[in-house]
Amino acid sequence: MKKKIVFGLLALLVVSQFFRIDKSNPESDPNHSIFVVEQVPQEVESIIKTSCFDCHSNQVSYPWYTNVAPVSWWVKGHINEAREELNFSEWGTYTKKRKLHKLEEIEEEVGEGEMPLPSYLIVHGDAKLNKQQQEKLINWTKTLRLGEKSEDF
């Protein structure tokens, strides 16, 4: 009985490899990028690109393990959800209200250590934010948020 279960699971794993994820990145206008729309200090840009961009942009670099189902499906689901929640490549299309809300969410998620996701950090240890990086990113978002509140669009 155990052999049949193991064989069935292996067969399912093999068949699942034929259902590939779409690894193409959506096209976007580079002028809508947060790095073009906002004045992002080089150090903050580096933090965002290292710790956030692989899920929260239209410039995802898919690692080798996204060639293996069902891991690939799980990763693609995370990327789709992340882009829907916050997409740095589409920042310029956001309304003022949405930008303010996203900046508050960044402060909260980074401040509480919720982002980057712990599951992402398992394979991408370089994305882990130290205290200084967290503070730098949070301080920048606060400054940007206060500037957004004072501007009239």
Residue 149, pLDDT above cutoff 60: no
Residue 130 belongs to domain spanning: 2-150
The encoded tokens of residue 23 equal 């690894």
The encoded tokens of residue 85 equal 């929640």
The reported pLDDT for the residue numbered 153 is 42
Of the chain, the percentage scoring pLDDT greater than 90 comes to 56
Please tell me which residue, 131 or 10, carries the higher pLDDT value.
Answer: 131
Bin 6: left if φ > 0, else alpha if -120 < ψ < 50, else beta: alpha
Residue 152, pLDDT above cutoff 70: no
Of the chain, the percentage scoring pLDDT greater than 70 comes to 92
Instruction: Give 10-39 pLDDT, tens digit per residue.
Output: 776 766 677 787 888 899 999 999 999 998
CA 19 vs CA 13, 27, 66: distances in Å = 11, 23, 12
**Averaged pLDDT, 31-53:** 94
Q: Total domain count for the chain? A: 1
Task: Residue 19: name the closest of 69, 93, 89, 82 by CA.
Answer: 69
State the pLDDT confidence band at 138, using cuts at 50, 70 and 90.
Answer: very high
Instruction: Give 78-99 pLDDT, tens digit per residue.
Output: 999 999 999 999 999 999 999 9
**Averaged pLDDT, 1-18:** 74
**Averaged pLDDT, 61-70:** 86
Please tell me which residue, 68 or 104, carries the higher pLDDT value.
Answer: 104
Please tell me which residue, 4 or 133, carries the higher pLDDT value.
Answer: 133
